[in-house]
Amino acid sequence: MRIAREQQYEQFVKENEEKKLRKEQEKERERLVEETPKTPPKTVASNSTDDPYEFVAKKITGKKVVIFSKKTCPYCMKAKQALSVYRIPRDHYEIVELDDLPAGKVENIQKVLGEMTGASTVPRVFIDGNCLGGGDDTVQALTSGKLAQLLKEAGAI
């Protein structure tokens, strides 16, 4: 009985830590969105999709699940495969293939992702605007059941 209570308490503490982390990530995302320049710098064209901060912010707030990916990256393939288990409807899910974009834009987007998440590598998986992590993080979340929980909380499945 005591062991069960200890396990319950540990689970409670873990869930609270995860909630706290998600809230911190949400605050950081909101801060970055607020800091996005309202007018692009002179070196950036006036098209809003040329502003990497605005591009990333629009993508991660536009869908419940967003993956910034590259087609030939094995970690990106792992993340996409892990998410495919849930058959997320296309209106809730977007894959942003960076190798379909101009090279200079890719570098800027990855720099923004690095500032937002602490890692500029791909994949970067966002669920409900919060960064889950990369390919290994996504697979780990799948095996632990955390991925299903996050997708349900986001209303993606």
Q: Which fold has domain 2-37+49-154?
A: Glutaredoxin (3.40.30)
How many Cβ atoms are within 10 Å of 33's Cβ, its own excluded?
17
Q: Is 150 exposed, middle or buried (0-12, 13-18, 19+ CB in 10 A)?
A: buried
Where do the structural domains in the chain lie, given as residue ranges? 2-37+49-154
Q: What confidence score (pLDDT) does residue 154 get? A: 96
Angle at 90 between CA 73 and CA 60, to 5 degrees: 65
- Return per-residue pLDDT of the chain as tens, 157 residues: 778 778 777 887 788 777 776 777 667 666 665 655 444 433 333 344 679 999 999 999 999 999 999 999 999 999 999 999 999 999 999 999 999 999 889 999 999 999 999 999 999 999 999 999 999 999 999 999 999 999 999 999 9
Q: What confidence score (pLDDT) does residue 35 get? A: 58
How many Cβ atoms are within 10 Å of 112's Cβ, its own excluded?
21
Q: What confidence score (pLDDT) does residue 103 get? A: 85
Q: What confidence score (pLDDT) does residue 30 get? A: 67
Q: What confidence score (pLDDT) does residue 42 get? A: 37
- b/e map of 67-84 (b: 16 or more CB within 10 Å)? bbbbeebebbebbbebbe
Cα–Cα distances in angstroms (integers) from residue 53 to residues 13, 44, 118, 120, 143, in the given order? 34, 12, 15, 13, 32
Coil, strand or helix at 78 = helix
Rounded CA separation 141/15 (Å): 13
